Amino acid sequence: MAYSRLSRGKRDAIEGDIIKALREAGCEVFQISGRRAPDLLAWRGRPYVMEVKSGKGKATNSQQGAPWPVVRSIPEALAVINASGEPSGIRYGLGGGS
């Protein structure tokens, strides 16, 4: 399991706790960001991307309408990786598909 940081942008306060929980759930976790990019890429056999917001944090203009989930808590982040169905990010071109 790994934790990598690919960005120096401002991070939400809950993000560290979410990363820790995802790692404990068996994910490799990468912090990413940039215009129109999610905050986290988690990998546990397949990719999961998510935007992290603390409390009532609002999406920036470039984040509004993004095709990945917004998580505000550890249970929400774990629900993303434990949900059945299509991996988060695959149909949006982040995992090799389109």
Report the DSSP pairing between strands 28-31 and 3-5: parallel
Q: Could you tell me which residue, 98 or 75, shows the higher pLDDT?
A: 75
Contacts of 27 (CB under 8 A, 6+ apart): 1, 42, 43, 44, 48, 81
Q: How confident is the model at residue 84 (pLDDT cuts 50, 70, 90)?
A: low
CATH number of the structural domain 3-92 = 3.40.1350
Domain boundaries, the chain: 3-92
Residue 49: predicted pLDDT: 95
Pick the closest to residue 22 from 8, 35, 39 (CA basis): 39
Residue 87 DSSP symbol: P
Residue 69: predicted pLDDT: 93
